[in-house]
Structure 1
Amino acid sequence: MFRFIVIFITFLACAYIGFYFGEVYKYRSLELKDFQKAVTLMNTEVLYSNTPLPIALLNISYKLETTFSKVFKEISDMLEEGEIFSVYEGFNKSYSKHKDEFNLKEGDLNIIKDFFFSLGESGVYGQEKIFNLTSEELKRKYLEAEEECKVNRKMYRGIGVCVGAIIAIFFI
């Protein structure tokens, strides 16, 4: 009886590991979608409402759901307190602090860094072009992440269950 319980727990552990690794791909697409939402909100706050950048970043941080919420809030706080002189510098500090919480790839991170590097550095029309360009690049990366999620999520789940089943059969 004890043997079957151990075999069942081993099977469940392998299946859980497969499901866990499959979910990592889902989080990347959620983060990209959330940042795309942030870019759209930033566009509205800066271009149409003429909200100062620290206040706009703070307002947007309340509307985000992923770790970007913390990053936007920290950048806003650093700008308000005068700790940093550019949004890009604040992003680098905040991102390095929360690096382990993100599931982004290097290409995703480059788009985000470029956005923060150019944020607040040009006039209204320049900012509008930057928002549009970033939004288009994020859409492309989001679709890529969704496709990758569909394929790899199923694969890791299947591998986890199969490995658990193989181990269980081996011990029976």
Structure 2
Amino acid sequence: MMPLLKLLGAAIVLVAGTLAGFFQAQQFATRPRQIRELILALQRLETEISYGFTPLPEALQRIGQGLREPLKSLFTAAAGYMSPQYGLSAQDSIRKALNAHWRRTSMRSAEREALEQLSGVLGTSDRQDQMKHIALAASQLKHEEAAAREDQAKYEKMSKSLGLLVGALVVILIF
């Protein structure tokens, strides 16, 4: 009976290590996709501002509806915080949405900083200035996307293997 429990415990530790490695690998794979989706959302926002003359809350809501989670929640929450019910400024709305939804993304602080910097300009300056800042944020995000793709190529496969190996090491050390 006891060896069977040890074997079961070893299997559980090994599976847990492997799953942790696969989860980390998924984060490396998801980050570039989310950054690309964020860049496309900002380009849509630029179009809404320049050609559609759409009010910012409506533009963010519209863009958010076309996105996948977790960015969908981020954009729609920012739009919601600008509603008369909350009455927050664009900057406060975006920051509040970032605080509420950012941890669900695979993105890092550099991407968040780009959005926070952009939030200070949205709704407070003229159309041309907003378009320049959106283009600047998109450019910064493109650099981050390239770095994220490099990280994915370097570390995705390694994370999977490392998770399995750490699980095996723990099993060896325990037993």
Task: State the Cα distance separating 1:169 from its structure 2 match.
Answer: 5.8
Partners of 1:159 and 1:77 in 2: CA distance: 42
Which TM-score applies when normalising by structure 1? 0.86
CA deviations over 1:37-95 (Å, ceiling 9, x no partner): 21011011111111111111110010111322112112222222252342110011122
Between the two proteins, what is the percent identity of the paired residues? 22
Aligned to 1:80, the other structure's residue is in SS state coil
Task: State the Cα distance separating 1:15 from its structure 2 match.
Answer: 1.2
1:39 alignment partner, one of 42, 47, 68: 42
1:86 alignment partner, one of 70, 89, 92: 89
1:26 alignment partner, one of 24, 29, 44: 29
2:103 alignment partner, one of 100, 104, 107: 100
Superposition map of 1:56-95 within 5 A: 56-81=59-84, 83-95=86-98
Task: State the Cα distance separating 1:160 from its structure 2 match.
Answer: 1.2
Partners of 2:171 and 2:52 in 1: CA distance: 61
Which TM-score applies when normalising by structure 2? 0.85
How many residue pairs match? The answer is 172
1:120 matched to 2:138? The reply is: no
Contact 1:34 1:66 in 2 (8 A): no
C-alpha RMSD over aligned residues? 2.2
Partners of 2:109 and 2:101 in 1: CA distance: 15
Aligned to 1:81, the other structure's residue is in SS state coil
Task: State the Cα distance separating 1:5 from its structure 2 match.
Answer: 4.4
Larger displacement relative to structure 2 (73-82 or 46-55): 73-82
Structure 2: any 5+ residue segments left out of the alignment?
none
Q: Tell me the residue number matched to 1:52.
A: 55
Task: State the Cα distance separating 1:137 from its structure 2 match.
Answer: 0.9
Aligned to 1:83, the other structure's residue is in SS state coil
Structure 1: any 5+ residue segments left out of the alignment?
none
Aligned to 2:82, the other structure's residue is in SS state helix
1:133 matched to 2:136? The reply is: yes
Task: State the Cα distance separating 1:30 from its structure 2 match.
Answer: 2.8
Change (3 A) 1:143 1:66: farther
Q: Tell me the residue number matched to 1:154.
A: 157
Partners of 1:79 and 1:171 in 2: CA distance: 55
Partners of 2:86 and 2:12 in 1: CA distance: 51
Change (3 A) 1:139 1:83: same
User: What is the letter of the counterpart of residue 47 of structure 1?
Assistant: S
Partners of 2:135 and 2:103 in 1: CA distance: 29
